[in-house]
Structures are given as C-alpha cells and as structure tokens.
C-alpha cells in the first residue's frame, strides 16, 4: 500500500479516537478501515458498565462497513495510546472478511508500531471456508 494511504488511515483513526466512549479504562482506540471500493469507515471502542458488552474500534469499523454492503477490505489502521494490538475477537472478525487485509498498528503520535496482515495476526484462522470443507 502507498505510504500516503497508510498515513491517511492513521490520521483518520487518530481523529476518530476522540469519539471513543471509555469511562472505565480511559483507553481510547480508533480504527479506520479501507474497503476495496475505496470507501473508508472509522470506528471507536465503546465501553459498557456490563463489561462483556463492550465493543472494540476494529469491530465497529468492520460492522459499519458490512452493514453498508462492503465485504472486501484492503487495510485497517488501529491507533491507541501505546500501539496496542487487536484482541482475539477482532482478529477473528477480520479473518471473516479476508486474511490478506493489511493491518497497521500505530500509537497516539501516529508512529507505526507494526504492519502485518490479518493472517500474520491470526495464523491458522478459522474461516468461512472451514464450515463447508467436509460437505464437498
């Protein structure tokens, strides 16, 4: 991916962080997802007093895109104060839509901490194809 595109995704994820609802952890995360159609969807983490009902920024961005018919993604930037990596649930949701999606992890200064793919984050992922493997 072109450096300008990477930078744009990081900047959008940084900007989205201000909308995070994090009254318990104070750990704001922003995400920016680039689809194959060229559209970008942002997301933030949203906490809840019933902790299991909290949702991560990555899944918010992906669900926003999916709810508008997008199914193929090129890249996602994830920005937090310290460049934290996506959780296991987010990795699984990303795998649902493609193991080749680029993942850019950056800190609150926009510094890239790590670049990989979904496959790099979740080797041996359980994918939709697994559901039909024995049916053929």
| Active site residues per annotation | 58
Helices (H) and strands (E) counted in the chain, each on its own, are: 4, 5
First to last CA, the chain: 36
Pairing of strands 73-79, 112-117: unpaired
Residue 106, helix vs strand vs coil: strand
């Amino acid at each position: 991916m072109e450096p300008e595109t990477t930078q744009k995704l990081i900047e959008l994820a940084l900007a989205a962080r201000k909308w995070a609802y994090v009254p318990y952890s104070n750990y704001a995360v922003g995400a920016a997802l680039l689809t194959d159609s060229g559209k970008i969807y942002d997301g933030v983490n949203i906490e809840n007093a019933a902790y299991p009902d909290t949702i991560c920024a990555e899944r918010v961005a992906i669900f926003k895109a999916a709810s508008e018919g997008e199914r193929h993604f090129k890249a996602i930037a994830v920005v937090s104060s310290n460049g934290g990596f996506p959780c296991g649930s987010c990795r699984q949701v990303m795998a649902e839509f493609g193991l080749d999606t680029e993942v850019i992890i950056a800190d609150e200064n926009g510094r890239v901490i790590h670049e990989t793919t979904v496959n790099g984050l979740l080797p041996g992922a359980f994918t939709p194809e697994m559901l039909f493997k024995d049916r053929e």
